[in-house]
Amino acid sequence: MSRKGPEMGLDDYLDSEVAVAVTATAVLLSPRARRVLRKGAVYGVAGVLKAADVASAAARGVASGAGSAVGQADTSDTSPDPAPGMTA
């Protein structure tokens, strides 16, 4: 009695799930592919950080502009001038 497990035929290797698993394993074990993935991750993170910096600078500019517009409205003198001879 032999204790061989189920054998895989050629058509089993061509299934999409098996092909994806084999490709992923080959990529993870390849130093060149790991280097490319690592470099891509570094550039991706740098891009996200730069975009966040630009967005926060734009938000600060909008907030500063809104704050100065509110400040100008608060300091403008909208009260009527007192009549001559009267003190405020």
Q: What pLDDT, on the 0 to 100 scale, is given for residue 58?
A: 93
Identify the burial level of 52 via C-beta atoms within 10 angstroms of its C-beta, where 0-12 means exposed, 13-18 middle and 19 or more buried.
exposed
Measured at the alpha carbon of residue 55, what is the angle toward residues 43 and 63, in degrees to the nearest 5? 160
DSSP output for 16-43:
HHHHHHHHHHHHHH-HHHHHHHHHHHHH
CA distance 19 to 36: 21
What are the pLDDT digits (tens) for 34-79?
899 899 999 999 999 999 999 999 999 888 887 676 666 555 555 5
CB 43 within 8 A of CB 37: no
What are the pLDDT digits (tens) for 8-42?
676 766 778 888 888 889 888 899 988 998 999 99
